[in-house]
Chains A and B, each alone.
Chain A
Amino acid sequence: MNKLIVFTTITIICLIIIVPLSLVLLIKYIPSGIQPALKDTEKIYESFVLSQEFISIYDNLVGIGVSIKNPNYKNKKEVKLRIYDNEDRLVRTANLRGQNIADGEFVSIMFDPIIDSKEQRYIWSIESADSTMEDALEIFLTDQKPVWSLDFKVAGEKVNYGLSYVTFHKVNPGIVLNAIYSEWHRNFIDDRVFAIFYISIILIIVSSLGYISIYKKEI
């Protein structure tokens, strides 16, 4: 039974500390922020191209994350993402296929990093020339554009709303760890009453364990 006690104790400690820390090493990029709330959708098919202008808020722009509707995987066609710089030069492309996009899925479309991307203007466009209106993928929109998200065009026509998306930026594990710790710390410490209560309970139990182990170990 002693082996079980040690095994379970180590496992729980790993779950609390080692597993979250280890997984940090697997997180290669972070989003620009929280994805804006989803509203309606816009279809992409034939010549219907959606293009969204934005300012990259970090360096190492490496992807775009967007939510896509594809009921019953009905669309299986090719989808192209293009990134243009502020001089309308094509700087990156990425392809995906509708058959890999589940209905309502948040899709991360990744490409080679654009290193000095911070505070630069870009336009990303998404299209699916082989799709028809009947089997078109639908890209989710938002009416809560962040300040760095600029003009949005549907088939070349500017409209008031925008795409609901985030940008991804390649980072080193130190930055990821810092971001995760900051988030955890904010959520824990900002609920001050709970934080004090929780830490107190843990300390009481640890102290009791220590007291029993040291002073009552003959029993």
Chain B
Amino acid sequence: MFSILVRLSLVRLFLLAILLRLLLMPFYYHPDIKTYNFQSSFLKEGVSNIYTYLIEHNKELPIKEEFVYFPLTYLFWGSYQVIISPFLGNDFQSWVSDASAEAVNRVGTYRYLFLLKIPYLALDLMLPFLLINFFKSKKDKRDAFILWLFNPFSIFIIYIYSNTDIIPVVLSLASLLLFQKQRVILSGIFLGLAIGFKPYPVLFLPFLLLFLKDFKEFLKFTSFVMITILAILLPFFSKEFVNSALVSGLTTRIAYPNLNIGFGEALMVGVVSLSALFFTLFIMKNKQVEDSWHYLFLTLLLMFSSVHFHIQWLLWIAPFIVIYHIINRNNRKLIWIWLTLAFLIPLLYDDRSMTISLLSPISSLYKLLPTPFQILQKLYDPYLVQGILHSIIFGIAVVVSWISLRKFYE
């Protein structure tokens, strides 16, 4: 796996990639990193079920958000904070609990942001070594390696918006690799672990099941996915977990937009798209497990194109875009246009933390600037612009899906 680094030209690029990431790490801030680290800090105080704890103690807590992630996120960050506590210093707990806007301008902020992003750096640098296993030729491996390391979109998302998505991305990519090598038990465990951080890999399950050879494989794979998920979720299962994590974010968002067909029923655009994709695969004869990544890629492509998404979610599709770019040399411009437009949409949200406030660790004065939303508002309806961009990416997703699926049926 590491033989790719034998060539010093790639060592040089690897070092440059690390340098670029280190330059960003301390100086850009999104409030999510503080929120989930504040919530995870209760692990070292012995809080086992963070979901019930946050609801029961909501009145006395300075930061009042619910814990919207799945349990492994809590366990991971809580444990990590314990490990690095000698380096965090005595003021970290005060900083992470500080709900005021001035917290990010306190001395120590650069240290905390740097240290808290180190796991992202490690996983981000590990990912290209996984990616190269999707290719056979040395040139393709090299291109994939470089494309991930110097992909500006993933760098922005990981080190600027710094949500926890890189962890399930790496785990689900590992699961897919193992799946393609027909090591279904390990694949199931990794997929279960990925779901233990964020639920989105559940979308992959129906498609992966269709690539399994026989009922024995089906049983092994699904059993180990279920056992892993249940082992993670059951200790935390409660009404508070359901309300905070299970019915938040994507799980409900996929129900919108929808088309009212009367009598209380609605057609859900996201579900329609994914169902069409699923049954396209269902009727296909001679499925090749090496093509399984393609369906996972199209799943995410169609899902993002039809729901209101957070910018950090785009990381889920990033490795597949690299694979698509290498394999589909004729049509790859389309997917980069898709990604660029998809990236622009959240920057136009009416949310300071998406743009201007990212610079607040450098100086609080940047918060005085208007957001792109406010600037655009003076010229045109920003919601209409978001809608137009989203409609365009939906159109591109349809075309890319058609091009990809046509290939399988030729």
What is A's interface to B at a CB cutoff of 8 Å? 1, 4-5, 7-9, 11-13, 15-16, 19-20, 23, 26-27, 29-31, 34, 37, 108, 176, 179-180, 183-184, 186-188, 190-191, 193-194, 198, 201-202, 205-206, 208-209, 212-213, 216, 219
Shortest distance in angstroms between A211's beta carbon and chain B's nearest beta carbon?
10
From B23, B361, B365, name the one whose CB has the most chain A CB atoms within 10 angstroms.
B365
- A126 vs B269: C-alpha distance when bound (angstroms): 48
Shortest distance in angstroms between B97's beta carbon and chain A's nearest beta carbon?
15
Shortest distance in angstroms between A27's beta carbon and chain B's nearest beta carbon?
6
Can you list 10 residue pairs at the A/B interface with Cβ under 8 Å? A8-B151, A12-B23, A13-B23, A20-B363, A27-B366, A176-B365, A183-B105, A188-B110, A191-B108, A212-B11
Whether A8 contacts B150 by the Cβ 8 Å rule is: yes
- A190 vs B361: C-alpha distance when bound (angstroms): 14
Whether B8 contacts A179 by the Cβ 8 Å rule is: no
Question: Given A23-B369, A190-B107, A205-B18, are A184 and B363 neighbors across the interface (CB < 8 Å)?
Answer: yes
Whether B365 contacts A30 by the Cβ 8 Å rule is: yes
Please name the 8 residue pairs, one residue from A and one from B, whose CB atoms are nearest each other, closest first. Answer: A194-B111, A180-B363, A219-B8, A8-B150, A190-B107, A12-B20, A183-B363, A8-B152
Given A4-B147, A9-B16, A16-B27, 16 more contacts at CB 8 Å? A4-B146, A7-B150, A8-B20, A8-B152, A9-B20, A9-B150, A26-B369, A37-B100, A108-B368, A176-B365, A179-B363, A180-B363, A186-B107, A187-B106, A187-B110, A206-B19
Whether A202 contacts B147 by the Cβ 8 Å rule is: no
User: Residues 261-284 of chain B: 1 if any A CB is under 8 Å from the residue's CB, otherwise 0?
Assistant: 000000000000000000000000
- A219 vs B9: C-alpha distance when bound (angstroms): 7
Task: Collect the chain B residues with CB atoms within 8 Å of residue A26's CB.
Answer: 369
- A23 vs B371: C-alpha distance when bound (angstroms): 12
Residue of B nearest to A38 (CB): B100
Q: How many A-B residue pairs have CB under 8 A?
A: 116
- A26 vs B143: C-alpha distance when bound (angstroms): 40
- A180 vs B364: C-alpha distance when bound (angstroms): 8
- A199 vs B293: C-alpha distance when bound (angstroms): 41
B contact residues, range: 35 or more
Whether A12 contacts B362 by the Cβ 8 Å rule is: no
Task: Collect the chain A residues with CB atoms within 8 Å of residue B398's CB.
Answer: none
User: Residues 1-15 of chain B: 1 if any A CB is under 8 Å from the residue's CB, otherwise 0?
Assistant: 000000111011101
- A108 vs B28: C-alpha distance when bound (angstroms): 25
Our pick among A15, A176, A209 for the contact of B19 (Cβ within 8 Å) is: A209
Shortest distance in angstroms between A103's beta carbon and chain B's nearest beta carbon?
13
- A174 vs B350: C-alpha distance when bound (angstroms): 30
Our pick among B16, B110, B152, B365 for the contact of A198 (Cβ within 8 Å) is: B110
- A149 vs B147: C-alpha distance when bound (angstroms): 56
